[in-house]
Amino acid sequence: MSLPPLVEPAAELSVDEVRRYSRHLIIPDVGMDGQKRLKNAKVLCVGAGGLGSPALMYLAAAGVGTLGIVEFDTVDESNLQRQIIHGQSDVGRSKAESARDSVKEINPYVNVILHEQRLDVDNVKEIFAQYDLIVDGTDNFATRYLVNDAAVLLGKPYVWGSIYRFDGQASVFWAEHGPCYRCLYPEAPPPGMVPSCAEGGVLGVLCASIGSIQVTEAIKLLAGVGEPLVGRLMIYDALEMQYRQVKVRKDPNCALCGENPTVTDLIDYEAFCGVVSEEAQLAAAGNTITPKQLKEWQDTGEDIFLIDVREPGEYEIVNIPGATLIPKNEFLLGNALEKMPQDKKIVLHCKTGVRSAEVLAVLHSAGFADAVHVGGGVIGWVNQIEPEKPVY
């Protein structure tokens, strides 16, 4: 469906701006009026990572007058494979400051506002209220639901994107004109069921594919051209080079934007998404060892069976000596239980301790009551025991 422009046009474009945006100005559907609307627009990007990088760069190049950046993290070397707004010299810097410098280099006419803080229930409404449109580049479910709920409660449209390995999705959620994110995903998946990009990886260029769709939708909404992805989910398969669309209808029973909403204000999103399940927390309580304790057990010849529950690709990058690779999913499906020894103490580990805690709960329920896991996972091991090894 076509929608009216989201913002009013600015009073004028300078001579320099006319030269800069000339290729936009000669497009009949954009023209002077559309470019003035972009100049007058205020867009907030949540995250300056994989999706935020191309989004910020192309929004800046397009002439969006004010860009806000919500980002609290620092640049890590592992980011550079996909987060193209940052460079080698930015490693260790604030992502927000690095992104701002890149944006200003692309277009000095853009006003950049930094929000160097973690988005949460205490600040999200105040931050969102300053902008016309939100571009969601987050990579975790708790923040996605937070962004959605705040946008609905404030009446703001937002452009959503998601990436994983070779697959991407994008849509526009605007409860006044169509569904919200909760209409598509009423509940978050169980903890550990959907791997993050840090666990499963992502093809770097996929970020550009989905990020460019997000910017295209943002421009259409701001200028009031074309038909935005409201009520439609765009799905991209990079391996098959195939795009397809799925219609998403507004759910009359949606807890947030339905006819009788039960969510009328922001909630505890960490609890809602169950970052670590209650079962995993209970299993880990009193059954967590440190990397140093694991090393002592290995050095003293303790009879243990050390299991790495990560994915094969992660194991190839870095692993703890003596560990046997059995991915988490094999435990969830029950296939790994028959491989468990009865005469050895089982010790689990993953990257940081979240997945191993989930597997620990599975083992405890299967009768392996003395199984433990390594808090901090392989990252903790590298930091404390083998700092010369790479981390990812």
Residue positions annotated with a catalytic role: 197, 350
Q: Report the distance separating Cα 162 and Cα 169, nearest Å.
A: 5
Q: Residue 136's beta-bridge partner residues? A: 46, 160
Q: How far apart are CA 228 and CA 294, in angstroms?
A: 54
Contact 159, 170 (CB under 8 A): yes
Residues 6+ apart with CB under 8 A from 19: none
Residue that the structure tokens 């470019």 belong to: 35
| 3-state SS class at 234 | strand
- Look at strands 288-289 and 242-247 and give their pairing: unpaired
- Within 224-284, residue ranges assigned H as helices are 269-273, 278-284
Residues 92, 73: Cα–Cα separation, whole Å: 9
Distance from C-alpha of 131 to C-alpha of 174, rounded to nearest angstrom:
14
In angstroms, rounded to a whole number, what is the distance separating the alpha carbons of residues 273 and 316? 30
Both tokens assigned to 76: 């890590």
